[in-house]
Amino acid sequence: MSARTLIDMPRRVRRGEAFEIRAMIGHPMETGYRRGADGDRLPRDILTEFGCVFDGEPVFSAKLYPAISANPFLSFSMTADRSGELVFRWRGDRGFSHTERVNLVVE
Amino acid sequence: MKEQSQQPGVSADSVSRRRLLGVTLGAVVPAGLMAGPAAATTVSASGAGDAAPSLDAAIRAFTGGAPVRAGKVRVAIAPLVDNGNTVPLSVSVDHPMRPDDHVTAIAVFSERNPQHEVASFGLGPRNPVAKVSTRIRLATSQKMVAVARLSDGTYWSGEIDVIVTLAACIED
């Protein structure tokens, strides 16, 4: 399954420098509490998990519930002591899974 | 300190409001709803669909019943919200992020959304500061609570009151 994502972070940082990662993904986050025009309840369809891993090492993770707005946005901070690959993964209802990779260069 | 002294009154009041909300939901909503996928991930899924578990129960599910001290945790959200569908929220914990002493998790709870759990975050020494931001939905004016778990196993909390003029979730 594919989705539009936006990962806002520096691609090059100095060793040990603190930087912020802002990750957003296009998703309706249907709560399961709303009703459609026909009065029927719209079934829940949300993202439930997000994870950011740096060279196999967990950096940040999140469990999401229906209270998270559509197009979930998450921001957190990080430092790195070496160059490596960041893997961002979102999982959700109906087998949703989406992965993005960003190479981070540490100077 | 102010918040602490308010707490007993606020929570007693909110219990009755929650009950009211539970009763209203129970009446409006077909019985199958709470047993649907929404309830499957509720941490503290207590029984069937009648009464939603309390805010305290949701927090206990996160802490495993460990005592929670007020302090260290700051919840930042606009005090007056026009549109409850997308409300910027950030939580920061005033604690170092060293390998041997850091914040390991932060969970955010809402007092009066249909489900108390909003999000929970896993952190570690790779994060230079214990600060997380996201955007949330708010069903109505209410109290937001954030609880942080430290690597020494202690739990700390902070809370904030929000006024919402246009609600999310229940109506579309």
Highest mean pLDDT, choosing among B11-15, B17-21, B81-85, B168-172: B81-85
B143-165 pLDDT tens trace: 999 999 999 999 999 999 999 98
3-state helix, strand, coil in chain A (%, to 5): 5, 55, 40
Residue B5, pLDDT above cutoff 50: no
By C-alpha distance, which of B101, B128, B129, B123 is closest to A81?
Answer: B128
Confidence tier at A52 by pLDDT (50, 70, 90): very high
Which residues, at least 6 apart from B105, have a Cβ–Cβ distance to it below 8 Å? B62, B120, B121, B122, B123, B148, B149
Number of domain units in chain A: 1
**Helix extents (H) in chain B:** 2-28, 37-40, 55-63
CATH code assigned at A88: 2.60.40.10
Q: Do A33 and B170 touch (CB under 8 A)?
A: yes
Distance in Å, alpha carbon of A88 to nearest chain B alpha carbon: 14
Per the DSSP assignment, residues forming a β-bridge with B133 are A75, B90
CB-hemisphere CA count at 13 Å for A33?
A: 20
Give residues 4 to 63 of B whose Cβ lies within 8 Å of A. Answer: 29-30, 33, 36-38, 41
Q: Which two tokens stand for residue A9?
A: 């972070």
Residue B69, pLDDT above cutoff 70: yes
CA separation for the pair B172, B157 (Å, rounded): 32
Average pLDDT of the residues of chain B: 79
Fold of B25-164: Immunoglobulin-like (2.60.40)
Domain limits for position A59: 5-35+42-106
Distance in Å, alpha carbon of A85 to nearest chain B alpha carbon: 14
Q: Do A18 and B129 touch (CB under 8 A)?
A: yes
Which residues, at least 6 apart from B70, have a Cβ–Cβ distance to it below 8 Å? B3, B4, B156, B157, B158
